Structure formats: structure tokens, C-alpha cells
Amino acid sequence: MLTFASAVALAALGIAGAPADTTPRARPLAGDFTGEVLPAGPVYRLPSVHVVADRSVELARIAQEERASAAGSRDCVSVPATSSADKELA
């Protein structure tokens, strides 16, 4: 029993006495550079992402968004656009 307690105490002292690593680590790249560069920037191939969703929940969410956007478009008033070149300034 005494041996176990002394081993735990020594382990705790060893952990507490270890200096903390404060150097920032570089984050690993998530994608592979394809070698192609577009005007918007370099192109990377990203790893695949697996998504799991409940179809009934997603269909309900889509229907709710469509109802909200339809209700929002009814509240808007359409105003014909006129150019400032058509108006005379006094």
C-alpha cells in the first residue's frame, strides 16, 4: 500500500514539475494542393465529409424556410426603378 502511494506521489510531482509547452503548433492542412491556381486563389482537394440527416426533419425545415420566404415576399412592396438621368435637376 505504501509503495502504491509513493508511486502516485512521485508521478504527481513529475507531472506538476514538467514545463508547459507554450509554443504554438502549426495546424495541419486539411486539403491537398491540386497544382491549379484560379484568379480567386489556389485550388485544394478536400477530404470527403459524411453527413447523416433525417429526411423528414430536413423536408420540414425546407418547407418552413419556403413559407417564411413566401411570407416575407408578400410584405415587400414593388417599386419601379427609375434612373436619375430621366429626372431633371433644378
Contact in structure between 30 and 47 (CB atoms under 8 Å): yes
Q: Return the higher-pLDDT residue of 39 and 71.
A: 39
pLDDT at 90: 47
pLDDT surpasses 60 at 84: no
Contact in structure between 31 and 47 (CB atoms under 8 Å): yes
pTM: 0.30
Secondary structure, 3-state, 17-71: HCCCCCCCCCCCCCCEEEEEEECCEEEEECCCCCCCCCHHHHHHHHHHHHHHHHH
Give pLDDT tens digits for 11-70: 666 665 556 667 767 666 678 888 999 999 999 888 888 888 899 999 999 999 999 988
User: Which residues are bridge partners to 42 per DSSP?
Assistant: 37
Cα separation, 45 vs 29, whole angstroms: 11
pLDDT at 38: 92
